[in-house]
Structure 1
Amino acid sequence: MHPINRSAGRTVHIYNTNDPDTVLGGLVLTPGVTNSNFYAMVKILFIFSGPFYLRVENGARIEKDDNPLRPGRYHIISDASFDVNNEPWLVRTISCASGSRAAAFTEAVRSRDRRCIISGANVYTFDGVDFWNGFEAAHVFPLAYEGYWVERGYGRWITMQPTIGGSINSVQNGMLLASDIHQLFDAYDFSINPDDNYKVVVFRPNSRVVGDQHLDPTYFSRPDAPVDSLLRWHYRQAVLANMRGAGEPVFEHDFPPGSDIVGVILHGPKAAERMEFELFSRFGAQMELFS
């Protein structure tokens, strides 16, 4: 079972005008992406040493405005040099961490949100009992990479420390999502851009999340809300994973009974990173018992 890559279905392609035969990246164009959004994405994808602008293949310059981006071939025009941004993206599949640390995190997120913040679906309550089936507390920055979190000092963004679990398990690193939407978020199929009025940007079309919606800014103004710096980190990861080069792999997570899961992972791309993530996600609770 070989994973497809994220270039499948791209309708926007990016080139260096000095090398028009080499595709540097691209985008599956979804509703709501504007010219201004595209410029911001390009600034994540590449490291520029001077000013640049974008031009369509027929020579028309693209302005940084709110007009919808159109499908096509776009050329980067710059008198200065620029390089592809090789910043790593963290391989992430479907996370379902458990254990006492994750339980405390889940309770804090449930208490604050009580609804999927993307779809707006409310948790059903009957006779004083909450029914949480179909909802999951999602980490914006994945718990499986806590070492990376500590190494990079991302805990500096957290102002509300949890009573258990370290800064990565703060409610400010979480949000309540419908279970299937959580899968899409973990897979970088969509993200939230805090620098565009909390706009939902869809990178791979799906049946659950629609782009071109802005989330309620009053939610994110709460002192215990997911912090902008972490949403910005996730958005950068989504841009790099979906738009860079020939396209990063899309990993399968729905394995039929009897599947050789380990074999599929070890013989696929980014095997070491994916195995590390899968082991933590599947056995994190047991490992916590012995730590």
Structure 2
Amino acid sequence: MSSPAPQLQRRNVEVFDSGGAVIAGFWQYGTLQWDEFYKYLVPFIIASTDWSIFRYRPNRHQRGVLCPPGTGIVKPGYYILLSTTGEPTRVGLKSIPLLVRPPGSNTPPTPSHEPHYGIRARTRDGQCLVTGVTTQSICRLGVAHIFPRIYDTEWTHKGYPSKITDQADEASMGGSLKIDSVQNLITLRYDLRCAWDNYEFGIDPNNNYRITAFLNGNADCNGLHLKLDHIHDPTLRPLDELFTEHLMQCLFKFVIGPVEREWSWDECEVALDAFDLSDTGVWGTREGKELLEVMLADRLFDHRLSQLIPDDTSRTIS
């Protein structure tokens, strides 16, 4: 019987508060600068004073040198968040709704089962927008939503349908929701599509669409820039706001707070296909129940969407 594959170390940078709790962290590939790290933390940190980050030796509870915002690279290691004068400060973390996505399958769809929106995205791009690999093979390129399609209520609440300028007929964009528009789609190498759905890397539209990975195992995409120069028609170009939304989800899931459990496809999809929900260690937890709801919503979404799209083939009999 083969032994399970070794688990990758999830983080090599961690930040503590003065009480010893882990409040942030990520995997440093040698590219993330201090000014970027501060920028990522600011939306989520609630502190009783102005704050800064210092080097830290947790085994001795000893504060080290100040690490101010700047172009210096964050070195792997331990840090502590304190007041700007180096004194303890109360720290809280803001929460945002995590738009959990179904775990990405490792099995590409067959051409006859490719989602309707995938054909338009693949035609527009013809390449992985991260690596530049050019192919029309459905086995090598996957199509990912920037904003997850099962959260249509949140999509509508944020006003995204009115921001989509795609001129395609509504039926090909998911009806009046327009959540399946190519402006909410990117084409990625299949393994990167899975990592995208899991929020393992994000894209900063305000930094030349640079890609930052926050989890170990994504060195091949970290530091690259999303390739969008081939999209000349603005009505086909992905919306910057959607990339920012996805980036915030990445930060909330993998940077803010302690390390989150990583769900495997085997635990989820295989168990659901076999109706084997007996593992209470997986499905009895709050996270397991939440993920089960998401997976069921994903499977039923197309059926629910079909109820919102008028049937153009219907005829009125006089």
TM bin, normalised by shorter chain, reads 0.7 to 0.9
2:166 equivalent to 1:154: no
Structure 1 window deviating more from structure 2 (243-252 vs 214-223): it is: 214-223
Q: Residues 231 and 237 of structure 2 are in contact (CA less than 8 Å); yes or no, is this contact kept in structure 1?
A: yes
Q: Structure 1, residues 198-243: CA drift from partner, whole Å, max 9, x if none?
A: 1111122226743122234635775122111110111110011002
Find the residue that maps to 2:102 and give its secondary structure: coil
Q: Distance in 2 between matches of 1:221 and 1:81?
A: 49
2:64 equivalent to 1:59: yes
Task: Name which of 225, 246, 257 aligns with 1:245.
Answer: 257
Distance 1:7 1:120, change over 3 A: closer
Cα RMSD, aligned residues only: 3.2
Higher relative contact order (CA 8 A, sep 6+): 1
Find the residue that maps to 2:265 and give its secondary structure: coil
Q: Distance in 2 between matches of 1:236 and 1:59?
A: 29
Q: Residues 11 and 216 of structure 2 are in contact (CA less than 8 Å); yes or no, is this contact kept in structure 1?
A: no
Q: Structure 1, residues 109-168: CA drift from partner, whole Å, max 9, x if none?
A: 1121110111211114xxxxxx43322211011111112212333334423254221221
Q: Distance in 1 between matches of 2:257 and 2:218?
A: 26
Instruction: Determine the structure 1 residue equivalent to 2:92.
Output: 83
Instruction: Determine the structure 2 residue equivalent to 1:12.
Output: 13
Q: Residues 132 and 227 of structure 2 are in contact (CA less than 8 Å); yes or no, is this contact kept in structure 1?
A: no
Q: Distance in 2 between matches of 1:67 and 1:90?
A: 32
Distance 1:195 1:77, change over 3 A: farther
Instruction: Determine the structure 1 residue equivalent to 2:283.
Output: 266
What stretches of structure 2 of length at least 5 have no aligned partner?
Answer: 1-6, 57-62, 309-318
Letter in 2 for 1:187: N
Task: Name which of 79, 94, 106 aligns with 2:103.
Answer: 94
Q: Distance in 2 between matches of 1:35 and 1:220?
A: 33
Q: Distance in 1 between matches of 2:200 and 2:100?
A: 13
Q: Structure 1, residues 161-185: CA drift from partner, whole Å, max 9, x if none?
A: 5422122111111101122111110
2:211 equivalent to 1:194: no
Using the aligned pairs only, state the percent identity.
23
Find the residue that maps to 1:144 and give its secondary structure: coil
What's the TM-score once normalised by structure 1's chain length?
A: 0.81
Q: Distance in 2 between matches of 1:194 and 1:221?
A: 17
2:123 equivalent to 1:122: no
Distance 1:88 1:207, change over 3 A: closer
Structure number with larger C-alpha Rg: 2
Letter in 2 for 1:87: I
Equivalenced residue count is 275
Q: Structure 1, residues 39-73: CA drift from partner, whole Å, max 9, x if none?
A: 11211332467643322224322232232210122
